[in-house]
Structures are given as C-alpha cells and as structure tokens.
Amino acid sequence: MDLGIKGRRALVCASSKGLGRACAEALAAEGVHVTMTARGAEALAAAAAALRKAYPDVEILEVAGDITTPDGRAAALKACPEPDILVNNAGGPPPGNFRDWTRDDWIKALDANMLTPIELIKATVDKMIERKFGRIVNITSAAVKAPIDVLGLSNGARTGLTGFVAGLSRKTVRHNVTINALLPGPFDTDRLRGVAAGQAKASGATPEQILQARMNENPAGRFGDPEEFGLACAFLCGARSGYITGQNILLDGGAFPGTL
C-alpha cells in the first residue's frame, strides 16, 4: 500500500532503538525524510547510518540529546523545524512502589511522558494546520487502558497526556491534522526486559521466569516484534488516515482483556 507520504518530513523522538527506531524505519521505507533523536549519540549514529544505507533516497538526520529537556527539544526542532509528522516517544520511568517515589520522581515522569509531548505538539501543530496536513503519533503504553501496579509513574503521566490529546485532536482534525496514540503491550524491547527485572526483584522470581510467564499468558503466545509496531505507526501517518483521530490503539497480542 502506498501511504501517500513520500517526501514528507518526520521528527521521530527516542528512535535509536526499540519502538522508536521501528517507527523511523517504517516511515523511511515510505520515502519520508526522517530526523531521529536519542540521548545516546553512539547508538543513534549507528541507527541513522543503517537507515541511510537501507533507504538512500531519503534524508536521515540525527540529533543527539535528551528530548525531555528544553535544550534537547530546541536542538531537534532546529534540525526539523516544520515536521509534517511527529512521533512522540521517550523512555518510561522505572517500575517500583509508590511509597518510595518522591515529588522529584513524579515531576521527572511528567516532564518526560506528558509535558515533553505537549511541548512538541505546541511547537509544531499550528504549522501543520496551515499546511492542511499533519500526523502526530504519541507512543504511550497499554497501561493507559489497563494500569500496571508497578508502573504507577508511567500510568499517571501517560494518562495525563491521553486526556489532553482527547480534546485537542478533535479540534485539529478538520484541518487534516490528526493526533493518535499507539499503546504497546509486551514488545521485545529493552523496556520489556527492564520492567521484568523490576518485577523479579519484587517477586523473588528471575527475570527470565517473568518473561516466559508473560509470553505464555499472552493469547498470541509471543511478544510483539517492533517492526509490527512501526508499520502501525506508518499507517496512522498516511495521507489516507485523516479520518482517524483521538484514538488509543492497543497493540498487545490480546494480552489486556476487557478493553474493547
């Protein structure tokens, strides 16, 4: 399927690996010029080089820096000041017990997973409206629909972003600017293994046992492949996806029942 976005420009945050990288690659495959960001310069450079080699007809820019900081956002927007496509993504806060979290922990989570996406939307959405095209995809979490107890920091911040987008997305859609969220369940990423390590510490099981149990419990019998996630993101960014907005789309292999 030709998604009709060849030649468009995308800013994909936290895209050196995992789900962010999968989104950047899927967009590059559609002929989109992609600006990638990540905190780790070495991993980002390697990811960008791989995309340039695979898709020589598109421009791949890289901006190393922390997108959750004002300086990181300024650098990303300097490299890609008027994206047609914005994919918001940032690493989730660590799992734990709410009794151990300080106010600073909460503020850090809100900055990364709620306020940073809002700031990037604020910086780009009006130009999208002027051009009569814009696609914004927020990578959040399946925990938005089915909260996970050890991910309270993530639950709170990402649900706040979801509430904000619910209103804005219904004001921009008449201008062909859509805002949606992709809610990953268990995908084969570093984040999945990090959460498993936290759960193992709390339960006394090993991380490997936690991961195997989660895989066995999933109706799909496996974890998601990041490529699947990237393709879903690219579809939402397509020229013909303008009638989809304000949605929270769960990609979880059926792991979260009762969310229809």
Is the pTM higher than 0.85? The answer reads yes
In the prediction, which pLDDT does 194 show?
Answer: 80
Bridge partners of 12, per DSSP, are 36, 87
In the prediction, which pLDDT does 232 show?
Answer: 98
In the prediction, which pLDDT does 25 show?
Answer: 98
pLDDT tens for the chain, 260 residues: list them.
899 999 999 999 999 999 999 999 999 999 999 999 999 999 999 999 999 999 999 999 999 999 999 999 999 999 999 999 999 999 888 878 889 889 999 999 999 999 999 999 999 999 999 999 999 999 999 888 888 788 889 899 999 999 999 999 999 999 999 999 999 988 988 878 887 887 788 788 898 999 999 899 999 999 999 999 999 999 999 999 999 999 999 999 998 865 54
Which residue blocks in the chain are alpha helix, DSSP H?
18-29, 41-54, 70-79, 103-110, 116-131, 152-172, 190-203, 207-217, 226-236
In the prediction, which pLDDT does 258 show?
Answer: 56
Query: Would you mind telling me the total number of residues written for the chain in this entry?
Result: 260
In the prediction, which pLDDT does 168 show?
Answer: 98
If 0-12 CB within 10 Å is exposed, 13-18 middle and 19+ buried, where does residue 22 land? buried
